[in-house]
Amino acid sequence: MRLFTMLKNQKKETISKNHWEDDFVLALPENIKEYILIILAFDSTIPVLFEINYKTFHLSKALSNDLCESFMPYFSSLKRSGLHIYKYHTQILVDSKYIEMDKLPLHYHQTCKLIISKEYNLMYYDKEIEKKKRDILKQSLVYACYLNDTSKILKLLDKASNKQLNMKYECHGTPLGLCAENDNLIAFKAICEKGADLNKKSLISTPLEIAFDTSPDIVHHIYEHHYHQFVSEVKRKGFPIARRNKDISIFNYIKNLGCDMVCENSEYPPLHLFVECDNTIGIQYLADEGINLNLKNKKNQTALDRAKQLDRKKSVALLEKLLNTSK
């Protein structure tokens, strides 16, 4: 808190381009595209260099002692005590700031990190901290689900908190979502019994949506043991949720809930969605239910038109056969 208060109380100015102390550029390796140079000018000068990577920054090793010595005449010419900040894109100076300070901060690297975070809305990337986070993650329930390691999942469940049951592994998903993706019914049931949230999305889809694509067994489990959840979600999303499903009994679950099998004038009628997924079992199911196979979507395409456009060979063959039979 003291460090934040100290920085807050310092005078700061953004130096206009016409009054930059110098158009100073470091001779850095070509692979460093964006970087921030901070020169702490007090009794002596201390240059600190940070590299920028998208929305993060880290301390650079490119600022060697030899490089510092070669620019010492420039550093020593800074007559104002304080922090001189230069932001570069490749070798072009794009921003310069000065923060007045009358003495060198005790933890100057930490001071520099706080200033960059505040001034440029960047987050500091610490390799050691990130390594520790990765090591912790590898011992977590969600990571065991990612690896589809059933024995480890069951072992970790004994002491799993509610937070761990619903933790999201960035860019991958939640424990339930990953188990559904891996068609791991044993782990899925165990995590559900522990109280994991079936409503929580794993990235952009719920565990049930994922299961419709990958695991009929898990769909049956949710229908039998979490019926209200199943009904609520399926009634809201209708037949499109089952576009990749190939289990007839699951189609019957949806039909018995009264979901629309036609969706006339919709952009994505179920029949057309089955075509997009080349799901001939789904197409045959709708045909057996008496759906008009010449039904058109919003773009005025029949299912056969769409199948030919997408080069869905199995769907084209089945639709042509069904249409010829119905003549």
Percent of the chain with pLDDT over 90: 50
* 120 compared with 254, residue with greater pLDDT: 254
Q: By residue range, what is the domain housing residue 277?
A: 237-326
Q: 152 with 134, same domain?
A: yes
Residue 57 has pLDDT above 90, yes or no: no
Calpha distance 105→122 (Å, rounded): 21
Residue 186, both tokens: 């044993």
Per-residue pLDDT band for 183 (boundaries 50, 70, 90) equals very high
15 by DSSP, 3-state: which? coil
Q: 158 with 101, same domain?
A: no
* Residues 194-248: tens digit of each pLDDT: 999 999 998 889 999 999 999 999 999 999 999 999 999 999 999 999 999 999 9
Residue 13 lies in a domain: no
Residue 25 lies in a domain: no
The last residue of a domain, from among 214, 236, 258: 236
DSSP state of 253: H
Calpha distance 312→327 (Å, rounded): 23
The last residue of a domain, from among 217, 236, 255: 236
Going by C-beta distance under 8 Å and a sequence separation of 6 or more, which residues neighbour residue 105?
3, 6, 40, 111
Q: 226 with 285, same domain?
A: no
Residue 26 lies in a domain: no
What pLDDT sits at residue 29? 66
Q: For residue 314, what is the domain's CATH number? A: 1.25.40.20
Q: 257 with 317, same domain?
A: yes
What pLDDT sits at residue 18? 40
Q: 110 with 148, same domain?
A: no
Q: 221 with 243, same domain?
A: no
As for how many domains the chain has, the answer is 3
Q: 147 with 169, same domain?
A: yes
What pLDDT sits at residue 67? 63
Q: 140 with 216, same domain?
A: yes
- This prediction has a pTM of 0.64
List, in sequence order, every residue forming a beta bridge with 52; answer none if it has no partner: 57
Q: 198 with 134, same domain?
A: yes
Q: Residue range 287-311: average pLDDT?
A: 94
Q: 285 with 207, same domain?
A: no
Residue 7 lies in a domain: no
Residue 287 lies in a domain: yes
Q: 135 with 232, same domain?
A: yes
Residue 5 has pLDDT above 60, yes or no: no
DSSP state of 110: H
Residue 67 lies in a domain: yes
Residue 65 has pLDDT above 70, yes or no: no
Q: 232 with 264, same domain?
A: no
